[in-house]
Amino acid sequence: MARAGLTNIIVVEAAERLIDEPDATPLTLAALAGRLGVKQPSLYKHIGGMDDLCRSIAVRAKLELADVMARAAVGKAGGDAITSMSLNYRKWAATHPGRYAATVRAPVTGDAEDEAATLEITKVAFEIMSGLGLRGDDAVDAIRALRAVLHGFVTLEAQGAFALPADIDRSFDRLLAGVIASLAGWANS
């Protein structure tokens, strides 16, 4: 039997593609193996198991999201940076629902790589907030606020919770503008 030539990264990337597909059936190793032309137990030669696979996806997704956020804010300052970052955050979450869900998972305590990836997002957020003049606890509050807003909106949108017949983009833009105006005011408090 010709070998499939799998590697850890090939398996992980295939899983990422699988969970980001629109119909979004829950990830199973059998489905993943089938997609790779291999039987389910063969995957264990390349991943430690389901938990390990999900962790790999989470770490990579966090780094990817941090990158999306950082690139969106390049060359922008203050509210403009937040707006651009938020729009790209929402867009990436919408086009990568599975990966986005993975970014929310808190790292297991002691998992240095996962903790570093999580910190990467926080660092980008801090840098963007510093452009609004926010430091220390103010910045923490601001990051939590913006993250809650983005995560809440994106999650509800993905679950089809915004059923009412009104433009969702407009709702998002208004919410974002309001939050940014709030955050801008915190710098003086």
Partner DNA sequence: TCGTCTTAGCTATTGACAGTAGCCAGCAGG
Partner DNA sequence: CCTGCTGGCTACTGTCAATAGCTAAGACGA
Footprint on this chain of DNA (rule: CB under 7 A): 1-6, 27-31, 33, 38-42, 44-46, 49-51
Residue 15 partner contact from a second copy, DNA, none using kind-dependent CB cut-offs of 5 to 8 Å: none
Residue 174 partner contact from DNA, a second copy, none using kind-dependent CB cut-offs of 5 to 8 Å: a second copy
* Two structure tokens written together for 179: 């939050």
Helix or strand or coil: residue 39?
Answer: coil
* Two structure tokens written together for 33: 């193996």
- 105 touches a second copy (CB under 8 A): yes
- If one counts every other C-beta atom within 10 angstroms of the C-beta of residue 25, the result is 9
Residue 186 partner contact from a second copy, DNA, none using kind-dependent CB cut-offs of 5 to 8 Å: a second copy
Residue 33 or residue 183: which is nearer to a second copy going by CB?
Answer: 183
Q: Residues 6 or more apart from 137 whose CB is under 8 A from it?
A: none
| Binders of a second copy in range 53-92 (CB under 8 A) | none
| Binders of a second copy in range 8-37 (CB under 8 A) | none
Gap between the Cα atoms of 93 and 151, Å rounded: 9
Residue 6 or residue 143: which is nearer to DNA going by CB?
Answer: 6
- Closest by CA to 145, choosing from 165, 164, 125, 160, is 125
Please answer whether residues 151 and 96 qualify as being in contact, where contact means their C-beta atoms are separated by less than 8 angstroms. Answer: no
Gap between the Cα atoms of 22 and 20, Å rounded: 6
- 134 touches a second copy (CB under 8 A): no
Gap between the Cα atoms of 41 and 55, Å rounded: 19
Least distance in angstroms from the C-beta of 19 to a second copy: 18
Chain residues that interact with a second copy, rule: CB under 8 A: 104-106, 122, 137, 140-141, 143-145, 147-153, 155-156, 159-164, 166-168, 170-171, 174-175, 177-179, 181-183, 185-186
